[in-house]
Amino acid sequence: MPDALLVELLTEELPPKSLRTLAEAFAARLHADLAKAGLTQTAARSFATPRRLAVLIPAVEERGPDRETEVLGPPAKAPAQAIDGFAKKHGLAPQALERRATPKGEILVARVRSAGQLLDAVLAPLVENALKALPIPKVMRWGSGDAQFVRPVHGLVMLHGKRVIPGSVLGLQSGNRTLGHRFMAKASLTIASAQDYERTLREGHVVADFAARRAEIEAQLKARALAEKAELGGYTDLLDEVTALVESPTVYTGGFDAAFLEVPQECLILTMRQNQKYFPLFEPGGKLRPRFLIVSNMQVADPRHIVSGNEKVVRPRLEDARFFYNQDRRTRLDARVAQLAKVVYHNKLGTQLERVQRIKELASRIARMLKADAALAERAAQLSKADLLTGMVGEFPELQGVMGRYYALHDGEKREVADAIGEHYKPRFAGDTLPQGAIACALALADKVDALTGMFRIGQQPTGEKDPFGLRRAALGLVRILVERELEVDLAALVGNAEVEAFVLERARGYFLESGYSANEVEAVLSLRPGRLDLVPRQLEAVRAFTSLPEAESLAAANKRIGNILKQADGAAAKFDASLLALPEEKALASAFERLQPQVEDAFQRRNYTAGLKALAALKAPVDAFFDKVMVMDKDPQVRANRIGFLGTLHGTMNRIADLSKLAK
């Protein structure tokens, strides 16, 4: 009879940022291998705490089903010795072999029946294999044995129902005993049956399920924030990390001296979140309060010692931030710029000072494209990397740009310059906000264009999943700025490199697909390599409106047919002589086209792309009649060339806004 299977590995503290991934990968691999052996058909649950990885599968058989497999053997005309050897190898008499006709002649086939696999025999090796397959960049050894894992392992549970499955994994013998909370539970816990695992650990003050533990922490955080009439701000990433650090979460409230609020709040927030794993509290408008939430691994009746201890620990961190801030402001940003000559950006692309000079030229040029103040863009570019030499950014690299803005304002720089410095790395990640204002956009684009063109120039393009210089992120950021800020900038003129342009367009493809447009819609527009990405959303909406028309499918198919004809006539000029059009159908199409072309061109110039594409619907009937009655490849070379030239002209107008052939089914 099937029963629940539990496998638990007790370890020393596992890496918090990869804990959930390790648990899910372990469960997925073990479940897949057991299913392959025919031992289970039910889904697995993963459990993960700082000191354990576990898998629970509700229904697992003790023995898998017997299996019959076919083994192809030698030709039926093979020597008797070869046939006898093949039969003996598979435990059969020669007369038990089957004959099968194949294109190469008749062959012999052995039907081999194998007994189902026993859970007791395969579980330990499958657990070992699942652990070896985990995404662990670096393993370690412990003790005198040869076992290797991401952290030392000190306990193994393998239970099928109430029965311990004997076996050894990483040098440990299986059992049914585990550990509860390090301080709030007794030394060890006995798991009576696999189904009792989660309840047993709860009794031992351990919330084993990662998602359940996360939900408990989040609920407590929100309740505490509500009691403080405060907000939590962005906390998701930290919540995941803290969930991986505790087994029995309890949230307490701490505070710090309000005098520290004179330091830019980004510094204090980063200090608390990154170093201490605290959750800062904010006013409804986003202003930092001198209060924070602590997720403790202890539940006590009187938490004063826990709170005061954490408050004492955070104070030196905040003092450091204040010290760096005050020290940094003693030297102006512009006085630091020359020192960038000592900082290498890339050994093939020079120093940060050389990069600043390139960005300065780019920012000035882009500002002129945006009809913005080029001098302000140059000044912002000149100072954009100076904060890399400050103590605060040295301590917290995540604050580059942010601190540059504060220091620029302190130095008396214009606000547009300071804001551009603060925002030129944006967007830093998916969903991040974009730079505001023309100067900030010019600098942000310049920074990304320099990174892309420079790295492509020295052959450092992303390959496969590897992208060490974040070029995909830079290209996507460039796309977002151009599109969402609706900047009237030509992409080719902006990047000045065909390879980089293609790379950016590929990122644009993904961006528009994620925005909800279909693959055909996106391909129809981007295959034309549009220069203005800010206009692409209008073109996509026009394509979507066009595809809803009853004439769309026929016109798309005709467009594809025209395109194929033009490919065959490579090099033919897209022009024609109307006087050479003899048949009624080609004259009718030419007449309809003559009336329509100015409408489409006018709509294109006014960027009313939807109207332009919808106007093409009037061509359906004459186009259908043309292809029904007119032989394009006429025997007369002059007639043939004229018809091809006419189709080339028609094709150009039909594809002015999008390549309609990409919509053909």
What is the number of domains present in the chain? 5
Q: Residue 149's closest CA among 171, 119, 121, 116?
A: 171
Reported as a single tens digit per residue, the pLDDT across 284-321 is 989 999 999 999 999 999 999 999 999 999 999 999 99
Last residue of a domain, one of 176, 203, 230: 203
Whether 157 and 223 have beta carbons less than 8 Å apart is answered as no
Q: Which two tokens stand for residue 304?
A: 């004063």
Asked if residue 512 and residue 463 are part of one domain, the reply reads yes
For 125-189, the three-class secondary structure string (H helix, E strand, C coil) is: HHHHHHHHCCCCCCCEECCCCCCEECCCEEEEEEEECCEECCCEECCEECECEECCCCCCCCCCE
Average pLDDT rounded to a whole number, residues 457-462: 94
Give the distance from CA 474 to its chain's centroid.
14
- Kindly calculate the radius of gyration of the chain based on its CA atoms and give it in whole angstroms: 35
Strand order in the sheet with 105-114: 67-75, 105-114, 98-102
Residue 472 CB contacts under 8 Å (≥ 6 apart), including other chains: 462, 507
Reported as a single tens digit per residue, the pLDDT across 372-387 is 999 999 999 999 999 9
Residue 558: inside a domain, yes or no?
A: yes
Decide if pLDDT at 148 tops 80: yes
Asked if residue 84 and residue 157 are part of one domain, the reply reads no
In one-letter notation, the amino acid at residue 302 is D
Last residue of a domain, one of 188, 203, 218: 203
Asked if residue 106 and residue 171 are part of one domain, the reply reads no
Whether 8 and 157 have beta carbons less than 8 Å apart is answered as yes
Residue 342: inside a domain, yes or no?
A: no
Asked if residue 244 and residue 181 are part of one domain, the reply reads no
**% pLDDT > 70, the chain:** 100
Reported as a single tens digit per residue, the pLDDT across 47-81 is 999 999 999 999 999 998 888 888 899 999 999 99
Asked if residue 145 and residue 105 are part of one domain, the reply reads no
Q: Is 101 exposed, middle or buried (0-12, 13-18, 19+ CB in 10 A)?
A: exposed
Residue 543: inside a domain, yes or no?
A: no
Query: In this predicted structure, what is the pLDDT of residue 571?
Result: 63
**Domain, as residue range, for 246:** 210-328
DSSP annotation of 289:
E
CATH of the domain at 454: 1.10.3210
For 598-641, the three-class secondary structure string (H helix, E strand, C coil) is: HHHHHHHHCCCHHHHHHHHHHHHHHHHHHHHHCCCCCCCHHHHH
From residue 583, give the alpha-carbon distance in Å to each of 56, 595, 647. Answer: 77, 19, 15
Q: Measured between alpha carbons, how far is 582 from 271 in angstroms, rounded to an integer?
A: 81
Residue 344's Cβ-side half-sphere holds a number of Cα atoms within 13 Å equal to: 3
Asked if residue 589 and residue 534 are part of one domain, the reply reads no
Asked if residue 282 and residue 266 are part of one domain, the reply reads yes
Q: Which two tokens stand for residue 74?
A: 């030698």
Q: Measured between alpha carbons, how far is 391 from 321 in angstroms, rounded to an integer?
A: 9
Whether 260 and 290 have beta carbons less than 8 Å apart is answered as yes
From residue 286, give the alpha-carbon distance in Å to each of 282, 290, 485. Answer: 5, 13, 24
Query: In this predicted structure, what is the pLDDT of residue 564?
Result: 87
Residue 426: inside a domain, yes or no?
A: yes
Helix, strand, coil in percent for the chain, rounding step 5: 55, 15, 30
The answer to which of 216-225, 471-480, 591-600 has the lowest mean pLDDT is 591-600
Asked if residue 32 and residue 133 are part of one domain, the reply reads yes
Asked if residue 590 and residue 524 are part of one domain, the reply reads no
Average pLDDT rounded to a whole number, residues 345-371: 97
The pLDDT confidence band at residue 637, using thresholds 50, 70 and 90, is: confident
From residue 512, give the alpha-carbon distance in Å to each of 27, 465, 472, 520, 661. Answer: 35, 21, 15, 11, 19
Whether 179 and 173 have beta carbons less than 8 Å apart is answered as no
Query: In this predicted structure, what is the pLDDT of residue 9?
Result: 97
Q: Measured between alpha carbons, how far is 355 from 341 in angstroms, rounded to an integer?
A: 10
Query: In this predicted structure, what is the pLDDT of residue 435?
Result: 97
Reported as a single tens digit per residue, the pLDDT across 16-37 is 999 999 999 999 999 999 999 9
Q: Which two tokens stand for residue 118?
A: 């026993």
Last residue of a domain, one of 507, 538, 569: 538
Q: Residue 644's closest CA among 573, 559, 552?
A: 573
DSSP H stretches of helix in 370-436? 374-383, 391-395, 402-410, 415-423
Query: In this predicted structure, what is the pLDDT of residue 146?
Result: 85
Query: In this predicted structure, what is the pLDDT of residue 334?
Result: 96
- In the chain, the largest separation of any two C-alpha atoms, in whole Å, equals 100
Asked if residue 508 and residue 468 are part of one domain, the reply reads yes
Residue 399: inside a domain, yes or no?
A: no
CA triple 121-127-131, angle to 5 deg: 155
Residue 333: inside a domain, yes or no?
A: no
Q: Which two tokens stand for residue 33?
A: 């291998």
Q: Tell which phi-psi region holds residue 426, choosing left (phi > 0), alpha (psi between -120 and 50) or beta.
A: beta
Residue 282: inside a domain, yes or no?
A: yes
Give the distance from CA 236 to its chain's centroid.
16
Asked if residue 164 and residue 40 are part of one domain, the reply reads yes
Reported as a single tens digit per residue, the pLDDT across 78-111 is 999 999 999 999 888 988 899 999 888 999 999 8
Mean pLDDT value across the chain: 94
Q: Is 479 exposed, middle or buried (0-12, 13-18, 19+ CB in 10 A)?
A: buried
Reported as a single tens digit per residue, the pLDDT across 237-264 is 899 999 999 999 999 999 999 999 999 9
Residue 322: inside a domain, yes or no?
A: yes
The pLDDT confidence band at residue 266, using thresholds 50, 70 and 90, is: very high
Q: Which two tokens stand for residue 13?
A: 């503290």
More confident residue, 145 or 587: 587
DSSP H stretches of helix in 90-118? none
Query: In this predicted structure, what is the pLDDT of residue 331?
Result: 97
Q: Is 519 exposed, middle or buried (0-12, 13-18, 19+ CB in 10 A)?
A: exposed
Beta strands in 223-371 (DSSP E): 250-255, 279-282, 288-296, 344-346, 350-351
Asked if residue 522 and residue 476 are part of one domain, the reply reads yes
Q: Measured between alpha carbons, how far is 174 from 158 in angstroms, rounded to an integer?
A: 6
